[in-house]
């Protein structure tokens, strides 16, 4: 690497971080200790038992997690009031850095994504950098792992169009791997092995990422100003949501995240974390230290590391490189799922990866802070079964108390201040404290908004923002039990090594369909109803305590369908609810992205009869798509790794030529999926197919080709 500095990194000072960690977590532990004592006292008042011990332990764990969350809010709030110099953007005057000799790659790893959206996001980012006048310092790479041939060809087609449109030959590159081993981390490794040494830094984007040019330039300057920093993670703002669910998530992200992340940065400092995208990475140390090994043993813990980002940050930190969170850099965007079910699908994938971190936790040499990040990731999912266990244990104790004939007369509290309180009042006090701890960060976020006039306006005013927070709180109350059951199922099935497949979501024109929601939620409804009846029979008083939880389960179908609707989201927007700064004052990048996406949607033909094997048809029939495709295959031969992969697929062999003949004579239905992929990967056969499809008389072609030629020439 010509322009890379020598690796010589001093360890970051530990005292300040140690003090902050101690103070931060001690606050959470202190709060947990106090409330746990109150809870233990309550349990003691009704007579101790083994099940009460279980309940208490569960309470302590769950409350500690909640208290840590609350402390993030509290510390973040005060940091935002009083300011801090301990943030990456305040450490040096980085804006003065000269980056004319620095090369940075911006990579978009993709896997069977909507290539239209990916490339329009890339275009918005590209144009934004162009406006900064620093475009020459950046190269763009679309790193495809797509296994669907239609996606593959579509990506190539749209890439070539984009390159021609932007006159970006030699600036925007496209590479598709023939074997997608080790998924996203393998995809990035392949890029680094092929081109990594050309770039001092690389910025990893997600398929739905958009980044502002100034932000990207600032990230490079920050890296230049801090040679001991290995990775800087930005905090992506959720944008472009249209459904009510998406807009609520987006609103929560934009309102609460600044406060929470400020709190996170308080204790993490230069031992931050990596979230897998919208981050800049110093290439050389990453290549040297962050190639992920296989974990010993079998699934779910063993094998390839699925959630690579946390581990890569931990490995970087292990080698004394710093990892920072640039939480005050604006202009980093991503999109979120638009419905509860899509969200649950994503959570399920993440669950598997995070549980696997249970093994990485034991890796020798990792920083303590890295282990904390890993533990948080794990508990993000494990907390759900623990919460369910807490509720079931509570029901069990209530049931046993009532039907074993034991007295339910409580003894006096051990606490002198609660001596005259009834058991119910005592329970209510604990409930109020719990609710306060949960709600306090939200309240502080609102307070933070109230003291910042421009931000307040960007959220549609304090009044509307307050109503939106109330709405968001109601929604998350109903959503929480569903997440609890989904996460519990994911955790249990993952631990059992069972892979539960998801069918592709059946969306109608405007979100989740009623039938699909019923298929996905009938179990939740049933559990909610059964649990409700049980609690009602047990004690109607108890039933009412459970209603928020039960309502989320029983009404999961309408909740899922209605919150996925775009028109409901639009209605809320017209009422000024759940507004975010990117909605009220959209940045240029997002305006450009949205308008281009709208044009695509209005102008592109989505007739279903043209959708079967459309990629194959285009790759064979379209003279330009075929030329681009064949050229890319030809270039692959120059890389020994890809050449070997092509050989493995069978490219250039007589067998593939026979597949080609079969394809022309019988249509794509006559070939298996892997045979079609082999044909698409053979440059010679693709040239021949193009020629033959246009030279042969119709009677020598399968009816499918005749229809495609007709359809195709009308389309272009």
Partner 1 sequence: MEPALKILPDVSGEIAGRSLEEWNAAYVKVENYFHALRIRNKPLLGQMVLRVLERAQRRAAAEPGRSATELAGEEMDKLVTGWFAEVLQTSPAGTDQMLSTRGRLALLLADMPGKWQDQFLRPGPWPLEFVVAMRESFFRAGPDFQLSKMTPRPLDLGPITTLTNFGKLPYVRMALVWILFALLLVTVFWLTHDGFGRVKDYFQEHFQLLLDWFRQNV
Positions in 683-702 near partner 1 (CB under 8 A): 684, 687, 690-691, 694-698
User: Residue 640, interface with partner 1 (CB under 8 A)?
Assistant: yes
Within 289-328, which residues bind partner 1 (CB under 8 A)?
Answer: 289, 291-298, 301-302, 315
Q: How far apart are CA 480 and CA 488, in angstroms?
A: 12
Smallest distance from partner 1 to CB 362, Å: 4
Kindly indicate which of the ranges 44-52, 216-224, 348-356, 630-638 contains the residues binding partner 1, using the contact rule CB under 8 A.
630-638
Nearer to partner 1, 404 or 504 (CB): 404
Within 239-278, which residues bind partner 1 (CB under 8 A)?
Answer: none
In the list 639, 645, 653, 707, the residue contacting partner 1 (rule: CB under 8 A) is: 639
Q: How far apart are CA 179 and CA 152, in angstroms?
A: 13
Nearer to partner 1, 177 or 212 (CB): 177
> Per-residue x/- marks for partner 1, 350-379, CB under 8 A?
---------xx-xxxx--------------
Number of residues located near partner 1, criterion CB under 8 A: 73
Name the H helices within 539-577.
540-554, 556-563, 566-574
Nearer to partner 1, 48 or 502 (CB): 48
Smallest distance from partner 1 to CB 201, Å: 15
Within 504-563, which residues bind partner 1 (CB under 8 A)?
Answer: 537
Smallest distance from partner 1 to CB 71, Å: 30
DSSP single-letter state for residue 292: P
User: Residue 189, interface with partner 1 (CB under 8 A)?
Assistant: yes
Please tell me the number of Cα atoms within 13 Å of 414 on its side-chain side. 11
Smallest distance from partner 1 to CB 19, Å: 29
User: Residue 196, interface with partner 1 (CB under 8 A)?
Assistant: yes
User: Residue 145, interface with partner 1 (CB under 8 A)?
Assistant: no
Orientation of helix 514-538 relative to helix 340-360, angle to 10°? 70
- Assign 304 to helix, strand or coil: coil
Q: How far apart are CA 638 and CA 169, in angstroms?
A: 19
Smallest distance from partner 1 to CB 389, Å: 21
105, 141 in Cβ contact below 8 A? Answer: yes
Nearer to partner 1, 414 or 536 (CB): 536
Residues 268-307 as b or e (16 or more Cβ within 10 Å = b): bbbbbbbbbbbbbbbbbbbbebbbbeebeeebbbeebbbb
Q: How far apart are CA 418 and CA 425, in angstroms?
A: 9
> Per-residue x/- marks for partner 1, 646-685, CB under 8 A?
--------------------------------------x-
Within 168-187, which residues bind partner 1 (CB under 8 A)?
Answer: 169-170, 173-175
Specify whether the backbone of 112 is left (phi greater than 0), alpha (psi in -120 to 50) or beta: left
Q: How far apart are CA 219 and CA 203, in angstroms?
A: 9
Nearer to partner 1, 363 or 702 (CB): 363
111, 156 in Cβ contact below 8 A? Answer: no
Q: What angle do CA 417, 423, 428 make, to 5 degrees?
A: 85
Nearer to partner 1, 95 or 402 (CB): 402
Sign of CA dihedral 185, 187, 189, 192: negative
In the list 287, 549, 651, 681, the residue contacting partner 1 (rule: CB under 8 A) is: 287
User: Residue 448, interface with partner 1 (CB under 8 A)?
Assistant: no
User: Residue 632, interface with partner 1 (CB under 8 A)?
Assistant: yes
In the list 43, 135, 372, 399, the residue contacting partner 1 (rule: CB under 8 A) is: 399
Nearer to partner 1, 175 or 456 (CB): 175
The DSSP-derived string for 196-217 is GGG-SEEEE--TT-EE-HHHHH
User: Residue 192, interface with partner 1 (CB under 8 A)?
Assistant: yes
User: Residue 54, interface with partner 1 (CB under 8 A)?
Assistant: no
Phi, psi torsion values for 210, nearest 5 degrees: -135, 135
DSSP single-letter state for residue 4: P
> Per-residue x/- marks for partner 1, 205-224, CB under 8 A?
--------------------
Nearer to partner 1, 17 or 373 (CB): 373
Q: How far apart are CA 222 and CA 94, in angstroms?
A: 5
Pick from 439, 276, 281, 264: nearest CA to 346: 276
458, 330 in Cβ contact below 8 A? Answer: no
Pick from 605, 362, 586, 347: nearest CA to 490: 347
Smallest distance from partner 1 to CB 238, Å: 32
User: Residue 8, interface with partner 1 (CB under 8 A)?
Assistant: no
Smallest distance from partner 1 to CB 169, Å: 7
In the list 574, 603, 607, 713, the residue contacting partner 1 (rule: CB under 8 A) is: 713
Kindly indicate which of the ranges 27-35, 386-394, 428-436, 627-635 contains the residues binding partner 1, using the contact rule CB under 8 A.
627-635
Kindly indicate which of the ranges 193-201, 521-529, 581-589, 657-665 contains the residues binding partner 1, using the contact rule CB under 8 A.
193-201
β strands within 42-128, DSSP E: 104-110
Smallest distance from partner 1 to CB 366, Å: 9
Q: Give, for 524, the enclosing helix (H) or strand (E).
A: helix 514-538
Encoding tokens for residue 457?
Answer: 């306006």
In the list 452, 635, 661, 674, the residue contacting partner 1 (rule: CB under 8 A) is: 635
């Amino acid at each position: 690497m010509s322009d890379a500095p020598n690796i010589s990194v001093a360890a970051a000072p530990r005292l300040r971080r140690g003090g902050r960690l101690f103070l931060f977590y001690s606050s959470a532990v202190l709060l947990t200790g106090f409330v746990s004592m109150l809870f233990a006292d309550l349990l003691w008042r009704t007579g101790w038992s083994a099940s009460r011990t279980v309940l208490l332990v569960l309470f302590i764990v769950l409350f500690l997690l909640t208290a840590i969350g609350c402390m993030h809010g509290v510390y973040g709030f005060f940091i935002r009031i009083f300011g801090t110099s301990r943030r990456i953007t305040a450490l040096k005057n980085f804006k003065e850095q000269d980056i004319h000799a620095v090369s940075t790659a911006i990579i978009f790893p993709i896997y069977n994504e909507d290539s239209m959206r990916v490339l329009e996001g890339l275009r918005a980012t590209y144009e934004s950098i162009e406006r900064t006048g620093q475009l020459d310092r950046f190269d763009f790479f679309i790193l495809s792992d797509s296994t669907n041939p239609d996606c593959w060809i579509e990506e190539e087609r749209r890439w070539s169009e984009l390159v021609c449109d932007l006159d970006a030959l030699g600036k925007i590159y496209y590479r598709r791997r023939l074997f997608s081993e080790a998924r996203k981390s393998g995809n990035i490794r392949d890029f680094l092995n092929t081109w990594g040494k050309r770039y001092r830094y690389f910025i990893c984007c997600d398929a739905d990422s958009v980044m502002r040019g100034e932000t990207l330039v600032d990230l490079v300057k920050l890296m230049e100003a801090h040679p001991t920093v290995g990775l800087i993670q930005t905090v992506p703002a959720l944008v472009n949501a249209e459904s009510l669910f998406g807009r609520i998530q987006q609103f929560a992200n934009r309102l609460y995240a600044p406060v929470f992340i400020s709190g996170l940065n308080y204790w993490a400092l230069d031992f931050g974390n990596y979230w897998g995208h919208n981050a800049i990475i110093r290439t050389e140390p990453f290549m040297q230290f962050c190639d992920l090994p296989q974990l010993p043993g079998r699934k779910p813990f063993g094998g390839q590391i699925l959630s690579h980002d946390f581990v890569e940050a931990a490995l970087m930190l292990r080698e004394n490189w710093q990892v920072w969170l640039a939480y005050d850099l604006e202009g980093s965007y991503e999109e979120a799922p638009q419905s509860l079910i899509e969200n649950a699908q994503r959570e399920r994938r993440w669950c598997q990866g995070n549980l696997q971190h249970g093994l990485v936790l034991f890796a020798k040499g990792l920083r303590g802070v890295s282990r904390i990040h890993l533990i948080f990731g794990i508990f993000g999912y494990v907390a759900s079964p623990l919460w369910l266990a807490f509720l079931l244990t509570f029901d069990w104790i209530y049931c046993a108390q009532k039907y074993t004939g034991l007295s339910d007369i409580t003894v006096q509290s051990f606490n002198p201040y609660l001596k005259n309180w009834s058991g119910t009042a005592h329970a209510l006090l604990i409930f109020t404290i719990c609710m306060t701890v949960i709600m306090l960060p939200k309240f502080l976020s609102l307070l933070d908004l109230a003291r910042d006039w421009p931000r307040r306006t960007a959220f549609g005013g304090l009044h509307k923002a307050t109503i939106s927070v109330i709405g968001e709180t109601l929604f998350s109350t109903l959503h929480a039990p569903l997440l609890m059951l989904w996460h519990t199922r994911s955790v249990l099935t993952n631990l059992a090594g069972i892979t539960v497949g998801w069918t592709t979501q059946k969306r109608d024109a405007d979100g989740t369909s009623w039938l699909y929601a019923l298929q996905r939620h009938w179990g939740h409804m049933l559990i909610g109803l059964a649990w409700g009846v049980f609690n009602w029979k047990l004690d109607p008083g108890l039933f009412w305590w459970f209603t928020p939880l039960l309502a989320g389960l029983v009404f999961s179908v309408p909740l899922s369908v209605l919150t996925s609707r775009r028109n409901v989201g639009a209605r809320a927007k017209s009422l000024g609810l759940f507004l975010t700064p990117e909605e009220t004052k959209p940045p240029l990048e997002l305006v450009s992205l949205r308008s281009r996406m709208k044009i695509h949607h209005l102008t592109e033909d989505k007739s279903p009869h043209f959708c079967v094997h459309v990629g194959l048809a285009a790759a064979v029939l379209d003279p330009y798509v075929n030329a681009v495709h064949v050229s890319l295959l030809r270039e692959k031969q120059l890389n020994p790794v890809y050449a070997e992969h092509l050989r493995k697929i069978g490219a250039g062999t007589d067998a593939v030529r026979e597949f080609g003949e079969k394809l022309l004579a019988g249509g794509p239905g006559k070939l298996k999926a892997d045979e079609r992929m082999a044909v698409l990967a053979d440059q010679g056969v693709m040239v021949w197919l193009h020629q033959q499809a246009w030279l042969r008389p119709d009677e020598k072609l399968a009816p499918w080709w005749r229809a495609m030629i007709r359809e195709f020439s009308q389309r272009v």
